[in-house]
Structure 1
Amino acid sequence: MAIRRLKKKTTVELLWPYFLKLLKKRPMYGYELRQKVIEQFGWKPATVTSYLVLYRLQRGGYVTIEWREQRGKPARKYYKITRKGEDLLEEGIKYLKEFSSKLLGK
């Protein structure tokens, strides 16, 4: 029970650092981001949660959106990290490192 709750708190409820980390490499669209989280981090974020987090990141100025036309398909909404988003990611990673260091006694 406690481990399951810990995993939820560090994955589902903490989705934004995963997205910003991936977007630091290159702009991506929502479905692609979800797939990359599965591939690189080994867990599957819910669709609604993913788009809610992306909306909040965009509203906060941490990502911008760009519509890209696709030949014969609907345009896709790509997300791109901003400087503000990079700063937030850096601060978040720093906090997580300090937290885990204290927890592990290093």
Structure 2
Amino acid sequence: MKQGKDSKAMERLRTALTTGNMWLCVLSLCEQQKKIYAYGLREDIEKKWGWKPSMIMSYLVLYKIEKDGLIKSEFEERRKYYTITPRGKEELKKAKGYLASLSKGL
């Protein structure tokens, strides 16, 4: 293995923890910034967590978690903004607790 290159196992872990859990990043950003919009979401994730999801993935995650009632959307000046709901805050809190206990167990 070349130095600096991740193993396949690390690549799978990174994918599972980033792309597979992008909804957590979205909820966290909504909680911190109060409102977000899809186009800026990709740059915000890259700045904060060091990876940039595809535009399609961003819209897909926003659609799914809005459908689940974790965020809500409204239009303001030609942009669709998303905000976290009380249910979204509760799910984010649960997820953070779960990840903390999982990490502690490792």
**Residue identity in the other structure for 1:81:** I
Q: Provide the residue aligned with 2:63 in structure 1.
A: 55
Identity between Structure 1 and Structure 2 (%) = 37
The gaps in structure 2 that reach 5 residues or longer are: 1-7
CA distance in 2 between partners of 1:44 and 1:28 (Å) = 16
RMSD over equivalenced CA pairs, Å: 0.6
Where do 1:33-52 residues align within 5 Å? 33-52=41-60
Per the TM alignment, residue 5 of structure 1 is displaced from its structure 2 partner at its CA by 0.5
- Corresponding letter in the other structure for 1:57: I
Match of residue 93 from structure 1? 96
Higher strand share: 1
- Show the counterpart of 1:10: 17
> What amino acid is the match of 2:57?
T
The number of residues matched between the two structures is 98
Aligned partners of 1:38 and 1:29: how far apart in 2? 15
Unaligned runs of 5+ in 1: 70-74
| SS of structure 2 residue aligned to 1:66 | strand
Structure 1 match to 2:87? 84
Structure 2 length normalisation: TM-score? 0.90
TM-fit CA distance, 1:86: 0.2
* 3-state SS of paired residue (1:77): strand
Q: Could you state the TM-score of these two structures normalised by the residue count of structure 1?
A: 0.90
The structure 2 residue matched to 1:23, chosen from 30, 34, 46, is 30
Counterpart residue type for residue 100 of structure 1:
S
Q: Whole-Å Cα distance in 2 between the matches of residues 64 and 22 of structure 1?
A: 14
